[in-house]
């Protein structure tokens, strides 16, 4: 069996690649290294790697023909709400057009795939009051990022139903763990916090810290992705999360304890387009056999050990 992972040198992608290799799959990675790093992939010598942009349509089509993957995991993305507000056209071309083009090519050429998995985001739920978010909760995408993720989900599911393609979508909540790049102001907050604690840099807190997120350790995310693949599920959406709500203030406090050091915090106004509260109902995933193995404390301790 062969798997193609777009964004496979990125934070979540590289963990997935290592897992797929350990499960005995042949793995092909496409990554333009804009946020990713080949060193993130432990099993580099066992993987076929193409340093390319998923927006290069010709290249992607040739790759699909030559490699004929059974499983496609579309993780390549500009994974930032704030970045999508700064550069909506560019993020759209990655977060939606590249995925659409691949689907269209699979449809036109009847490429025989076993699963096409698209990675969407909890951002699609927006700020509606219903909590925890279930996969069939109402959505309210507030940013270009969230809109692209939701619209692309709909394409992926509709292509699945209309053209009988084995497609599935997942909505990542806030994923953290080793390999998350802290170098951009748009990086995930836990990678930035780790960098600040480690290097005694000031941390900029946007808003009052009461915003909540559902932080999930990357190993649990990989567990979930693999369960979905093994279940041969089609035309469904799954939340991937821990199922617990924590405010940014609680995160900071917990991480300071774990690290045994205190953080210098600079206050700044809240970011536009942001979600105020986020937490998932993970019942659907649990039905597939998912169990969260990493509490926030355990995940932060493990992350800090390796930092």
Positions marked catalytic = 145
Residues 40-79: x/- map of binding to ligand UD1 (CB under 6 A)? ---------------------------------------x
Single out the residue of 6, 223, 278, 292 in contact with ligand UD1 (rule: CB under 6 A). Answer: 278
Please select the residue that binds ligand UD1; options are 122, 165, 216, 280, rule is CB under 6 A: 122
Q: Is 250 exposed, middle or buried (0-12, 13-18, 19+ CB in 10 A)?
A: middle
Asked if residue 277 binds ligand UD1 (CB under 6 A), the reply is no
- % helix / strand / coil in the chain, to the nearest 5? 45, 20, 40
Q: Is 187 in the site for ligand UD1 (CB under 6 A)?
A: yes
Taking CB under 6 A as the rule, does residue 123 contact ligand UD1? yes
d(CA 99, CA 118): 8
Q: Which stretch binds ligand UD1 (CB under 6 A): 18-26, 52-60, 118-126, 285-293?
A: 118-126
Asked if residue 182 lies in contact with residue 192, where contact means CB atoms within 8 angstroms, the answer is yes
In terms of CB distance, is 74 or 186 closer to ligand UD1?
186
Residue closer to ligand UD1 (CB basis): 62 or 264: 264
Distances in whole angstroms, Cα of residue 124 to Cα of each of 40, 120, 135, 269: 28, 8, 10, 23
The residue to which tokens 């790049």 are assigned = 181
Instruction: Give the footprint of ligand UD1 on residues 76-95 (CB under 6 A).
Output: 79-81
Residue 155 sits at the vertex; the CA angle it makes with 154 and 159, to the nearest 5 degrees, is 115
For residue 268, give the H/E element and its range: strand 265-268
Smallest separation, CB 206 to ligand UD1 (Å):
4
For the chain, report the end-to-end CA distance as a whole number of angstroms.
34
224 binds ligand UD1 (CB under 6 A): no
Give the interface with ligand UD1 as residue ranges (CB under 6 A): 79-81, 121-123, 172-174, 186-189, 192, 204-206, 211, 213, 248, 271, 274, 278
């Amino acid at each position: 069996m062969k798997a193609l992972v777009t964004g496979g040198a990125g934070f979540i992608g590289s963990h997935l690649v290592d897992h797929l290799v350990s499960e005995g799959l042949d793995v092909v990675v496409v990554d333009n290294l804009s946020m990713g790093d080949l060193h993130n992939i432990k099993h580099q010598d066992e993987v076929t790697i193409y340093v390319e942009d998923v927006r290069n349509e010709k290249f992607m089509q040739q790759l699909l023909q030559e490699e004929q993957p059974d499983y496609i995991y579309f993780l390549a993305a500009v994974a930032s709400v704030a970045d999508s507000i700064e550069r909506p056209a560019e993020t759209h071309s990655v977060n939606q057009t590249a995925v659409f083009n691949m689907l269209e090519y699979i449809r036109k050429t009847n490429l025989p795939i076993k699963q096409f998995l698209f990675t969407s985001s909890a951002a699609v739920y927006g700020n509606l009051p219903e909590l925890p978010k279930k996969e069939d909760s109402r959505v309210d995408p507030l940013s270009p990022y969230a809109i692209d993720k939701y619209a692309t989900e709909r394409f992926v599911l509709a292509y699945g139903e209309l053209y009988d393609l084995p497609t599935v979508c997942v909505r990542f909540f806030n994923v953290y763990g080793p390999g998350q790049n802290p170098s951009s102001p748009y990086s995930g907050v836990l990678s930035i916090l780790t960098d600040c604690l480690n290097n005694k840099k000031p941390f900029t807190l946007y808003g009052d810290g009461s915003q909540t997120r559902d932080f999930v350790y990357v190993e649990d995310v990989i567990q979930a992705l693999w369960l979905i693949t093994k279940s041969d599920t089609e035309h469904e959406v799954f939340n991937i999360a821990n199922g617990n709500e924590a405010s940014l203030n609680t995160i900071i406090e917990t991480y300071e304890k774990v690290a045994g050091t205190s953080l210098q915090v600079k206050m700044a106004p809240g970011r536009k387009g942001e979600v105020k509260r986020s937490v998932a109902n993970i019942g659907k995933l649990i039905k597939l056999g998912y169990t969260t193995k990493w509490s926030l404390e355990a995940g932060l301790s493990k992350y800090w050990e390796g930092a």
